[in-house]
Chain A
């Protein structure tokens, strides 16, 4: 009792092991608490897919060991680009939480690293890395042993690389240039994911095998394979080097974390020089557009996402040029429009509860919706037009002129309409901008929901251009008129619906952002579906685009125009007799999957007995 009444003079810092244990416990508690509703489905689906990939990697080690280093390089790229693709990485344990602990940054970093391992992704990666001891079996018991050690060091290295990248982004993305640089890297990475096969084919050949053989072993992911294959002394040297790399990464991470905690940048505001330009003396939509344009220019998240969209649009057609396919180049500007729409799909969610001002200003809803549309068109439109004209002129594909000129106004109008409509109907709540943490590229929104929203835009925006495409098929130049008409109609009409919706349900949107989704018995989320359907729906949402677009509609267009280069389109590899049935089968499969994914939740929720509550 006596010592309770005096201040503790001999407070000792927690021991590293205890610190790590608490960190793991905290991470697991955070995960448990966030495992509600759709998050559970996403976790199960993600874990199931990951497990399949991990077992596939082990199968590669058994059956085609030549490709094992390449597979492991893919896991490495997942750890590198994963955090970039989901907006700077989700950080369950933020270093800011622990900045006041009386512990050195190095120990905090080590403990946070332990926390970083408490999750499904490292576990699944570890299973994939068990391919190393499996591969080692070919070299005897020693190989298995080295493989086991290498599996652990490789896992730690991968997780560390990922953490260092997230920390670097958090610390250095403080200006427009760095945000744009991250955007370029991300856009290129997505382009490589979708079209990276093209340069591989172009480089394919006997002479490339040798250097790629070395390359995949030089990457940190390939050190394990190299160690297993090497004689004993060299193997041990490689493992020691791996341990050294881990120590280096840990030091780098610790210093990044400690710098991040003491540098006070809020919400990703780029530095400014001089006084701001005077606000234009106009009311209504033009005032709202002026506000939006300033936000586009002053928000690093928006800059990064926009650059991602444009760099994807530029890089992915260029990748196809490596195999001599110029046919996509004219459409660069159109791809940019669709991608830019997808990346600005959560316009209202990104502004957070600032919506209250629009709601409290009589009649401001119309100005706000129209202003956002106008600003979006001003941000995306000119660049898309320039890209389209450049693509047309550079590629010399004269057949593409009517297509591009018809689809350009249709997609621009459709994008301007869909963006505001979905921002209102499918808002994903995030953290209010002024409450975001030290990571300027993370909006705090549920990333899987935001990705779902982006996919919805990727499907609906091209759909608004279907009439123009049909008109081009009928007569090349009818497309231009139809495109202008449908573009104007989409922008006006969808914007009108968005405005009505904002007027009627704006308060609910505000409170969704303030308090999160309210428990509404009448509107069950996918979480209320039976688990079987939940997984099915999520899988369909994730991969239905594959049969529908690249394997269905694209070969359809290619066949119509007589491009016979089969590339990676399954249908075009088959005998002519089977080509049309395959294309139709693929399109039908894609449509069925989307139908299932959208209709099952609707049907089950409408048959739910609790619907009468509202």
Chain B
């Protein structure tokens, strides 16, 4: 039986290459139970690849991933029971309404029908998707897709939430709602790992942070240790290396 002393997520030596391009190289991360962990990195750094390998959606070339001590690749069924996942950009059962998606997935997970109905109603209401009762998921806006994805991740009351860019394309009001949900979830003993580009947001809700650049972890640990005296944004730019500034280019844009 996994206990709370086990970290919520531990990955070690994860590696994935697509052809010649190494998307993730020897990734080491530990997400303590009960923490909110922010995974940050520039575009194409390997955040999505890392999270996909950690939850069992992408087979790594090497390395291991454990969720509360359960190996994702040798005991996937138990591991998947413990996590709720919001992957980036994956399709859904597109021709169901939001309520139908949640009902279907709840029943598929073996939850009793009354529980499914109750939780579905709650989630749709809290995430403000209940107004679009007749809209199929394929007709949802980008922000609505994020929200129904989050509802799917929360439906079975997992112990670890793995959210890839949960705030992308979400309006400020909904973002506040999501932040409140996450705080409540962590307050109730849950653990969260999110990936994001938005540093102030990560600083606001996360207590641990990992920085990935070019497929490698360049810094990881409690937020205060990683950023030191500076802001996370400055630390991040220092860590991943400042790019050539664009101010001298695009001169024709200024009038």
With beta carbons under 8 angstroms apart, the residue of A279, A432, A434 that contacts B104 is: A279
Q: A360-B80, A362-B80 are in contact. Are A284 and B252 (CB under 8 A)?
A: no
Decide yes or no whether B58 CB sits under 8 A from chain A.
yes
The answer on a CB contact under 8 Å between B134 and A433 is: no
Q: A275-B134, A279-B103, A359-B57 are in contact. Are A269 and B139 (CB under 8 A)?
A: yes
CA distance A364 to B152 in the complex (A): 15
Decide yes or no whether B241 CB sits under 8 A from chain A.
no
The answer on a CB contact under 8 Å between B95 and A298 is: yes
CA distance A79 to B134 in the complex (A): 39
- Give 9 new A-B contacts, CB below 8 A, not counting A276-B97, A276-B134, A432-B90: A5-B252, A281-B107, A288-B104, A288-B108, A351-B91, A354-B92, A357-B105, A359-B56, A434-B138
Nearest residue (CB) in A for B113 is A281
Binds B, one of A147-155, A479-487, A512-520, A543-551: A512-520
Tell me the residues in window 127-165 of chain A with beta carbons closer than 8 Å to chain B beta carbons.
Answer: none
The answer on a CB contact under 8 Å between A353 and B91 is: yes
Decide yes or no whether B81 CB sits under 8 A from chain A.
yes
Nearest residue (CB) in B for A6 is B255
Decide yes or no whether B171 CB sits under 8 A from chain A.
no
- A–B Cβ pairs within 8 angstroms, 14 of them: A5-B254, A266-B138, A266-B139, A269-B139, A279-B103, A282-B107, A284-B108, A294-B96, A295-B96, A354-B90, A354-B93, A433-B95, A434-B91, A507-B56
10 smallest CB-CB distances across A and B, nearest first, come from A354-B91, A298-B95, A287-B107, A281-B113, A4-B252, A352-B91, A362-B77, A353-B90, A279-B103, A353-B91
Q: A287-B107, A287-B108, A298-B136 are in contact. Are A360 and B57 (CB under 8 A)?
A: yes
Nearest residue (CB) in B for A281 is B113
The answer on a CB contact under 8 Å between B105 and A508 is: no
Contact with A along B96-120 (1 / 0, CB 8 A): 1101100111011110010000000
Tell me the residues in window 132-176 of chain B with beta carbons closer than 8 Å to chain A beta carbons.
Answer: 133-134, 136-139, 145, 152
Tell me the residues in window 427-451 of chain A with beta carbons closer than 8 Å to chain B beta carbons.
Answer: 432-434
Decide yes or no whether A267 CB sits under 8 A from chain B.
yes
B139 / chain A contacts, CB cutoff of 8 Å: 266, 269
Q: A269-B138, A281-B113, A356-B87 are in contact. Are A361 and B80 (CB under 8 A)?
A: yes
Decide yes or no whether A291 CB sits under 8 A from chain B.
yes
The answer on a CB contact under 8 Å between A357 and B252 is: no
The answer on a CB contact under 8 Å between A287 and B104 is: yes
B95 / chain A contacts, CB cutoff of 8 Å: 269, 294-295, 298-299, 433
Decide yes or no whether A290 CB sits under 8 A from chain B.
yes
What is the distance, in angstroms, from A523's C-beta to the closest C-beta of chain B?
A: 14
Decide yes or no whether B40 CB sits under 8 A from chain A.
no
CA distance A357 to B138 in the complex (A): 16
Q: Taking beta carbons and an 8 Å cutoff, which residues of B are in contact with A? A: 18-19, 55-59, 76-78, 80-81, 83, 85, 87, 89-97, 99-100, 103-105, 107-110, 113, 133-134, 136-139, 145, 152, 251-255
What is the distance, in angstroms, from B193's C-beta to the closest C-beta of chain A?
A: 15
Q: Taking beta carbons and an 8 Å cutoff, which residues of A are in contact with B? A: 4-7, 266-267, 269, 272, 274-276, 279, 281-284, 287-288, 290-291, 294-295, 298-299, 351-354, 356-357, 359-364, 367, 432-434, 507-508, 510-511, 514-515, 518-519
Q: Which of A282, A283, A433 has the most CB of B within 10 A?
A: A283
Nearest residue (CB) in B for A295 is B95
A362 / chain B contacts, CB cutoff of 8 Å: 76-78, 80-81, 109
B145 / chain A contacts, CB cutoff of 8 Å: 434
What is the distance, in angstroms, from A443's C-beta to the closest C-beta of chain B?
A: 12
The answer on a CB contact under 8 Å between A361 and B136 is: no
The answer on a CB contact under 8 Å between A275 and B18 is: no
CA distance A367 to B93 in the complex (A): 15
With beta carbons under 8 angstroms apart, the residue of B57, B85, B96, B104 that contacts A510 is: B57
The answer on a CB contact under 8 Å between B100 and A276 is: yes
Nearest residue (CB) in B for A503 is B76
B107 / chain A contacts, CB cutoff of 8 Å: 279, 281-284, 287
What is the distance, in angstroms, from B116's C-beta to the closest C-beta of chain A?
A: 8
Q: A5-B252, A276-B97, A294-B96 are in contact. Are A361 and B109 (CB under 8 A)?
A: yes
The answer on a CB contact under 8 Å between A518 and B18 is: yes
B94 / chain A contacts, CB cutoff of 8 Å: 267, 295, 351, 354, 433-434
Q: Which of A4, A291, A351 has the most CB of B within 10 A?
A: A291
A432 / chain B contacts, CB cutoff of 8 Å: 90-91
CA distance A434 to B103 in the complex (A): 21
The answer on a CB contact under 8 Å between B133 and A275 is: yes
A433 / chain B contacts, CB cutoff of 8 Å: 91, 94-95, 138
The answer on a CB contact under 8 Å between B255 and A5 is: yes
What is the distance, in angstroms, from B27's C-beta to the closest C-beta of chain A?
A: 18
CA distance A279 to B93 in the complex (A): 14
Q: A5-B251, A284-B108, A515-B18 are in contact. Are A291 and B90 (CB under 8 A)?
A: no
CA distance A283 to B112 in the complex (A): 9
Nearest residue (CB) in B for A276 is B97
CA distance A298 to B97 in the complex (A): 11
The answer on a CB contact under 8 Å between A351 and B133 is: no
CA distance A354 to B136 in the complex (A): 14
The answer on a CB contact under 8 Å between B138 and A360 is: no
CA distance A279 to B100 in the complex (A): 7
What is the distance, in angstroms, from A136's C-beta to the closest C-beta of chain B?
A: 54
What is the distance, in angstroms, from A236's C-beta to the closest C-beta of chain B?
A: 53
Q: A7-B255, A275-B134, A281-B113 are in contact. Are A357 and B92 (CB under 8 A)?
A: yes
The answer on a CB contact under 8 Å between A360 and B96 is: no
The answer on a CB contact under 8 Å between A272 and B134 is: yes
CA distance A7 to B255 in the complex (A): 6
CA distance A212 to B77 in the complex (A): 67
Nearest residue (CB) in B for A513 is B91
The answer on a CB contact under 8 Å between A357 and B93 is: yes
Q: Which of A4, A6, A272, A434 has the most CB of B within 10 A?
A: A434
CA distance A205 to B196 in the complex (A): 76
With beta carbons under 8 angstroms apart, the residue of A7, A288, A367, A507 that contacts B57 is: A507
B59 / chain A contacts, CB cutoff of 8 Å: 507-508, 511
CA distance A367 to B109 in the complex (A): 10
What is the distance, in angstroms, from B244's C-beta to the closest C-beta of chain A?
A: 20
The answer on a CB contact under 8 Å between B93 and A295 is: yes
The answer on a CB contact under 8 Å between B108 and A367 is: yes
What is the distance, in angstroms, from A573's C-beta to the closest C-beta of chain B?
A: 51
The answer on a CB contact under 8 Å between A364 and B108 is: yes
